[in-house]
Amino acid sequence: MSEVQRRGFLARLTAYEPLTLIMLAAVAGGLFVLQRLTSEVLEGETFHFDETILLALRRPGELGVPIGPDWLTHAVGDITSLGGVTVLSLMTVLVTVYLLLDRRWPIAIFVLSSVLTGWLASTILKILVARPRPDIVPHLVEVSDLSFPSGHAMVSAVTYLTLGALLARTQRYRSTRIFVMFAGVFLAVIIGLSRIYLGVHYPTDVFAGWCAGALWALGCWLISKRFIPSRAPDAAAEAGNSVGGTSA
């Protein structure tokens, strides 16, 4: 191997940061977990686990009444709305418009396409598995589609984690990047838990939704980190001019 070839190989090897390699390993591990969970669900191995948790969240002898005070049920109903199509669509459109106005065209287009394709993936998974909704306890909200994976859990994870990961790349300070990512994770978690509390999803539906949504968001982050610039064209140009002026 010549000196030029050796340097080229080392450059390609070091182009991937350790964090990127860790994320790639996480994607592989997540795919394995999702595949195993789906297999167990199709074989009916998770039913006892799901039944135990759903029954534990209802009052003994009154399965139509969830545990906790009345205000908690009302609050959970409000939280689950954050994972609905209307709220997520508004959130995605507003963030996309903001990025367009901020002249971050590549990230804006990537955000919109990432969320839309994630929603499509959720629908396809539901059709492929075709798991009916749980009938162990009465539903506290009206539902009509299939159960696995939880659409609210997966789509909210896809939307909030993707938006959080991509928006974090536009932030200057580490503290704001951490906050944006934490907010995305927090929203995805409480929305998924609300579906279990309301009795409209098996816990394994929600776990699968979180796993699939996180994988999708992580994959989008890896692609954007590799190919999508995080700064607006004007900001990048100003930074280049500043460096050039300093070196002169």
Active-site positions?
152, 201
Task: Please say whether the beta carbons of 206 and 151 come within 8 A.
Answer: no
Q: Which amino acid is at 119?
A: W
Token match 């002898």: residue? Answer: 61
DSSP reduced 3-state for 68:
coil
Burial 51-63 (b: 16+ CB within 10 A, else e): eeebeebbeeeee
Strand partners of residue 197:
none
End-to-end CA distance of the chain: 38
CA–CA gap between residue 153 and residue 137 (Å, rounded): 20
Residue 18 token pair: 């350790």
Between the alpha carbon of residue 69 and those of residues 73, 75, 81, 94, 233, the distances in Å are 7, 10, 19, 35, 52
Nearest to 171 by CA among 220, 227, 121, 104: 104
Residue by residue, DSSP assigns 115-156 as HHHHHHHHHHHHHHH-PPPP-SS--SS---S--SS-HHHHHH
